[in-house]
Structure 1
């Protein structure tokens, strides 16, 4: 069983709600946070290839993830690769890439600003732009999944309240 199932702030989505490309990217991010670039490279390449993501996406993805290795960066909550739930931070990472693809790099920078110091933030947004361009070239478009756009069912007492809803 996944040790992170009940930790942190959950998002309203599960892994099964994601597109094939989103699942591959999320799994790759989770693997990278567990094993680093060298330990995760082979499995990330296979997962991305299965989803139709070009191998050229690995370099900007590694550059993006590498910004979290810098001193002073706050680590986002990244769950284990087997976890079926998605954390609010993981949803924000996917949404930031979708924002870049839709031409809203400012929103992406605001989402990453919660974790990264200014220089790392510049590096991350550059890497996201490159990764978004590669995905665009492969005709892979990530959907925006902002929690603020969710409307609670009539039987629900509250609306989903996530930090990224305020962005």
Structure 2
């Protein structure tokens, strides 16, 4: 398809405030080895938006991905304006959790996690989604792109510690 006629995927500037805040925090926490932003910076920004209590849930979600993922996720740096398919999928899962559509959340996470990992992730995801919703930060139900079974089966396995989480 010609570039000018295709429907572009949403990038960070086109996201709503709730989505931008979550993606920034997710990216920043996933890059915990980098100097900026620090854990204190992330906590301060989340506190400013009245979602500081969501930081432990965010950390738990990332830890579950780091320890149990069978498929790599692509996570951009916190300042990158582009969004990966993985990041769109994570946003879709969080938005579904805000609406109590837990099966959609679980299905999305099973693209990367084994069933037990997806189940473990549900509690912190629901907590984070509730905290954001109660602060008025509601994520829209976007269906930017859905995964079909062929795409899921074509994904490659990866080793823990893979540089794909970048």
Q: Given the two structures, how large is their TM-score scaled by the length of structure 2?
A: 0.75
What is the CA deviation profile of residues 66-99 of structure 1, one whole-angstrom value per residue up to 9, with x for unaligned ones?
1012145433110111211111110111111000
Aligned length: 141
Question: Which of residues 130, 134, 139 in structure 2 aligns to 1:133?
Answer: 130
Name the structure 1 match of 2:47: 49
C-alpha contact 2:17 2:137 (8 A) present in aligned 1: no
Match of 2:83 in 1: 86
Question: Secondary structure, in 3 states, of the residue corresponding to 2:53?
Answer: helix
Alignment partners' CA distance in 2, 1:96 and 1:71? 17
Per the TM alignment, residue 122 of structure 1 is displaced from its structure 2 partner at its CA by 1.1
Aligned twin of 1:124: 121
Unaligned runs of 5+ in 2: 1-7, 150-166
Corresponding residue of 2:66: 69
SS at match of 2:31: helix
In 2: Cα distance, 1:68 partner to 1:31 partner = 15
Distance 2:126 2:103 in 1: 11
Bigger fraction of residues in strand:
1
The 1:139–1:120 alpha-carbon spacing in structure 2 relative to 1, beyond 3 Å, is same
Structure 1 length-normalised TM: 0.75
